Structure 1
Amino acid sequence: MGDLWDGLAQALWLVATLDPDLVEITLRSLQVTLSALVIACLIALPLSALLVVKRFRFRRITIAVLNALMGLPPVVVGLVVYVMLSRQGPFGVLGLLFTPTAMIIAQVIIIVPLIASIAHQALRDLWAEYHDLLISLNTSKRQRMAALIWDGRRALLTAALAGFGRAIGEVGAIMVVGGNIDHATRVLTTAIALETGKGEFALALALGFVLIAMAIGVNLAIHWLGRTEREGRW
């Protein structure tokens, strides 16, 4: 029991004193996840708006596939990215395996379906309200998509935060494609797994505190945005 309290005390000390290793790992996690989030939003948000505005042959199938991919096992994504970026893979010549770029690619693949599905549901409801107005104004499809994305930005931010929460806590795919290399690809989740295996509970707990704080912050932001969105509709 004493070891547990000692570990907690040391973990709190590491957080309070901004331990260099803790700060480095946290900043790298944020760099990778925020980069993946920006790229994923640039893909998912226009895609979700397009699925709302445009009617085409495989639209329903595309929506169904996006919803299904929300449950895609991250470790499988990591395996696919690993194969594609390995020396024998089609993109092996780029030398991206075991780099932050490979981790970003894996995270983008994981969170695009999640963000697109949540955004599609929000924009679909907004399109029901704006349909007649936008049609009467004789707007183009691009203008309709832009109007939906702008007016639904608060709901879309909720979708983005959900994607961030999913990405920041990912470990399977990141471990496979990043390799958990010290001072290169080690992030919060992989560092927690490594330090726990080594029995270094102080740093593992400190990293866990940071990860929990991020998760709580994201959930509080989603809750606040959802509440203000509902209040704005009244």
Structure 2
Amino acid sequence: MQQDAISTASILSLLLGDGGHFLGIIFLSLQVTITAVTCAGLVGLPLGAALALSRFPGRTVIIVLVNTMMGFPPVVAGLAIFLLLSRSGPLGDMGLLFTPKAMMIAQFVLVLPIIVALTRQTIEDLWTEYQDHLTSLGAGRLRSIPTLLWDARFSLVTTLLAGLGRASAEVGAILIVGGNIAGFTRTMTTSIALETSKGDLPLAMALGVVLMSLTLAINSLAYGISRVGARFSGKS
């Protein structure tokens, strides 16, 4: 009973900000995740839209590959990036392995297919709906991309939030390429795995509470944005 009280007090102490190490882990996690998702969005949104509207040989194969990459095992992605960034790899001279940048690259690789695939489907559906109208205005497929991206802005923000949720829960890939170095590449997910194995349950549970709160916030925001988008489009 006393041990439970101590554990609860320790968790509350960490959650209330009593520990620079704890806050540093949270800050690094958010920094890595938000940077990776932002970069994936900048690349994935126009790429997904272009894939939706372009017609070229091999398009179906690319779509299948992108959809397959949505379920790409994180540890395999981490291993591939590790081999690229290791000293004996083609990018070894850049010195990125076991740094936050390597973790950002890993999350970028995992999130990009999700954003591309969801964007492609969204824009493809919109093109089917507005094709006749846009064509009558003289806008071809590729020239319609900015218009369709703007019209789908609420759905695309939800897509980015889905990528953010995926990245924030990542463990395997960032553990391989980041090394889980204390004070440098240790994130919430890798810390939970490590501290649980060490028996430091208060820290693991406190980080778990923060991670679950972040997940709840992301999903609530995504739901709210989808509702706003539905009102703007007159579907509710």
Output the TM-score relative to the length of structure 2: 0.94
Counterpart code for 2:24: E
Deviation of residue 195 (structure 1)?
1.2
Identity of aligned residues (%): 44
Provide Cα deviations, 1:121-155, integer angstroms capped at 9, x if missing partner.
21122112221222222235543111111111110
Deviation of residue 224 (structure 1)?
1.3
Distance 2:26 2:142 in 1: 38
Provide Cα deviations, 1:135-182, integer angstroms capped at 9, x if missing partner.
222235543111111111110000100000000110000100000011
Partner of 2:45: 45
Deviation of residue 196 (structure 1)?
1.1
**Secondary structure of residue in 2 paired with 1:182:** coil
Stretch of structure 1 that moved more, 5-14 or 154-163: 5-14
Distance 2:111 2:148 in 1: 21
Distance 1:173 1:117 in 2: 21
**For residues 93-112 of structure 1, what are the structure 2 equivalents within 5 Å?**
93-112=93-112
Provide Cα deviations, 1:181-216, integer angstroms capped at 9, x if missing partner.
111111110111111111111111111111011000
- Does the CA-based 8 Å contact 1:99-1:178 persist in structure 2? yes
**Secondary structure of residue in 2 paired with 1:71:** coil
Aligned residue pairs total: 234
Partner of 1:126: 126
Partner of 2:230: 230
Distance 1:50 1:18 in 2: 48
**Secondary structure of residue in 2 paired with 1:30:** helix
Distance 1:212 1:17 in 2: 17
Distance 1:80 1:61 in 2: 22
Counterpart code for 1:110: L
Partner of 2:7: 7
Deviation of residue 2 (structure 1)?
4.4
Does residue 83 of structure 2 align to residue 73 of structure 1? no
Residues 148, 20 of structure 1: alpha-carbon distance in 2 compared, 3 angstrom cutoff: same
Provide Cα deviations, 1:71-113, integer angstroms capped at 9, x if missing partner.
1000000000000000110000111000011101110110111
Residues 170, 137 of structure 1: alpha-carbon distance in 2 compared, 3 angstrom cutoff: same
Partner of 2:184: 184
**Cα RMSD (Å) of the superposition?**
1.4
Residues 5, 162 of structure 1: alpha-carbon distance in 2 compared, 3 angstrom cutoff: farther
Distance 1:57 1:23 in 2: 50
Counterpart code for 2:110: I
Deviation of residue 227 (structure 1)?
2.1
Unaligned runs of 5+ in 2: none
Distance 1:72 1:18 in 2: 38
Does residue 60 of structure 2 align to residue 60 of structure 1? yes
Distance 1:142 1:6 in 2: 61
- Does the CA-based 8 Å contact 1:8-1:205 persist in structure 2? no
**Secondary structure of residue in 1 paired with 2:117:** helix
Counterpart code for 2:74: P
**For residues 155-194 of structure 1, what are the structure 2 equivalents within 5 Å?**
155-194=155-194
Distance 2:56 2:44 in 1: 18
Distance 1:9 1:136 in 2: 67
- Does the CA-based 8 Å contact 1:79-1:176 persist in structure 2? yes
